[in-house]
């Protein structure tokens, strides 16, 4: 009896192990069947959508724009330079100060120029006196010739001396005029009304001819300098409008194409266009000058925005409705099936992206037709073949 006991125990163990394996396989099969039923139920579930979740494809009138960027530059600028050498005096202006056209902004020490002008004027007075002496001598000699006391040759010599004295006098006057201009050049004036943009030197410094003293800019007339590629430049015409923004700011600036450079840059082949920006009044009065100085735009600021080129009629949808989680872009197309719709993933070919009223639209070149309906981007991804119902049909 004891010999059969191990075999009985082994048989019982094998039976229990087989039963456990069978129950495990049964449980796994039941789970698979449950998952399959859940997937089938999910596939047959009808997603109820609102009208706002559907986009009806149609021809859209979209604005054509060109992204541009550039630097603001004042139309009227002036660099005031010294015209004579000397010590700079009476320069009290600083960056940001307003100046008027013709205003004296500084002087160069004119002591030497004043002395030279006085000397030249004295020399001119002496030459005039010598001329007067020769004039009287000539008049007397002419009277003596008429009376026969002296010869005609003596009169000609007297006339030559008079002409020489007159020439010396005119030369002395010209020399005095030159020195007068040199003295006037010691006074530096602003040729335009505007604001001081840069101060190059300070009082007491020695300056030479053509040494820069101040830069003055007129902020009331600004223009935007933009570099374009050859292809983009072909689309630009004088008179087109652009909406720009200061880099890092939400404030918009209106600009208009004023000029187009007729020649491309020889190195980069880029074409320069100039957009006019109105920045204050063109009146030269002090009040308007101060008002212009309060404008936010300054010379040298960087602007970026879009240039309006026109409009185009094209089949387009919001870019948010296009999905890119597959190798090729696609949309979730709604195919009618009775009173419901079936979702189909339709591959599309995309064209130009255009911003209109804060929404980015994309032109559809292939894959869709007018009046078809697709799910908007806010719905999210649905499985292909999913059933969709609408509370009210989309128009």
Model pLDDT for residues 75-89, shown as the tens digit of each residue = 999 999 998 888 888
Looking at residue 132, its pLDDT comes to 80
Going by pLDDT thresholds of 50, 70 and 90, the confidence category of residue 259 is very high
Looking at residue 130, its pLDDT comes to 82
Looking at residue 300, its pLDDT comes to 87
8-17, 54-63, 273-282, 356-365: lowest mean pLDDT where? 8-17
What does the pLDDT average to over 297-322? 87
Does 220 have pLDDT greater than 80?
yes
What is the dihedral angle through the alpha carbons of 28, 29, 33, 38, rounded to the nearest 10 degrees? 0
Going by pLDDT thresholds of 50, 70 and 90, the confidence category of residue 281 is very low
Q: Is 357 left (phi over 0), alpha (psi -120 to 50) or beta?
A: left
Tokens, residue 235: 């689309």
| Pairing of the two strands 206-207 and 58-81 | unpaired
Burial class from Cβ neighbours inside 10 Å (0-12, 13-18, 19+) for residue 19 reads exposed
DSSP 269: -
Looking at residue 36, its pLDDT comes to 59
Q: Extract the runs of DSSP E, i.e. beta strands, from the chain.
A: 46-49, 54-56, 58-81, 86-89, 98-99, 104-108, 187-189, 194-199, 206-207, 212-228, 241-246, 252-260, 271-278, 302-318, 330-337, 340-347, 349-356, 359-366, 373-375, 387-390
- Give the highest mean pLDDT range of 8-22, 173-187, 378-392: 173-187
Q: How far apart are CA 229 and CA 235, in angstroms?
A: 11
CB contact at 8 A, 166 and 193: no
Does 245 have pLDDT greater than 70?
yes
Q: Could you identify the residue written with the tokens 């880029």?
A: 270
């Amino acid at each position: 009896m004891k010999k059969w006991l191990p075999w009985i125990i082994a048989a019982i163990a094998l039976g229990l192990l087989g039963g456990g394996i069978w129950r495990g396989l049964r449980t796994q099969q039941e789970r698979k069947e449950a998952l399959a039923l859940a997937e089938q139920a999910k596939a047959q579930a009808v997603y109820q959508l609102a009208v706002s979740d559907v986009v009806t494809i149609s021809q859209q009138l979209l604005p054509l724009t060109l992204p541009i960027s550039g630097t603001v530059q004042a139309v009227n600028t002036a660099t005031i330079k010294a015209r004579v050498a000397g010590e700079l005096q009476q320069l009290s202006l600083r960056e940001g100060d307003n100046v008027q056209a013709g205003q004296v902004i500084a002087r160069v020490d004119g002591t030497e120029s004043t002395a030279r002008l006085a000397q030249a004027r004295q020399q001119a007075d002496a030459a005039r006196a010598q001329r007067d002496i020769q004039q009287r001598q000539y008049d007397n000699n002419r009277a003596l010739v008429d009376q026969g006391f002296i010869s005609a040759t003596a009169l000609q010599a007297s006339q030559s001396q008079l002409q020489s004295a007159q020439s010396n006098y005119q030369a002395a006057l010209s020399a005095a005029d030159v020195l007068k201009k040199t003295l006037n050049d010691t006074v530096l004036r602003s040729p335009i009304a505007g604001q001081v943009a840069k101060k190059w030197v300070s009082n007491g410094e020695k300056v030479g001819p053509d040494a820069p003293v101040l830069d003055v800019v007129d902020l009331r007339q600004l223009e935007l300098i933009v570099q374009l590629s050859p292809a983009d430049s072909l689309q630009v015409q004088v008179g087109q409008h652009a909406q720009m923004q200061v880099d890092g700011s939400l404030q918009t600036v209106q600009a208009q194409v004023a000029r187009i450079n007729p020649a491309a840059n020889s190195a980069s082949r880029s074409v320069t266009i100039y957009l006019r920006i109105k920045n204050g009044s063109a009146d030269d009065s002090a009040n308007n000058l101060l008002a212009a100085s309060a404008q936010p735009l300054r010379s040298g600021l960087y602007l970026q925005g879009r240039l309006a080129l026109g409009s185009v009629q094209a089949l387009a949808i919001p870019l948010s409705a296009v999905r890119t989680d597959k190798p090729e872009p696609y949309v979730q197309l709604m195919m009618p099936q009775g009173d419901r719709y079936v979702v189909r993933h339709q591959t599309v070919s995309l064209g130009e992206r255009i911003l209109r009223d804060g929404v980015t639209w994309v032109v559809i070149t292939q894959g869709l037709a007018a009046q078809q309906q697709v799910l908007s981007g806010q719905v999210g991804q649905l499985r292909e073949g999913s059933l969709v119902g609408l509370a009210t049909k989309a128009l």
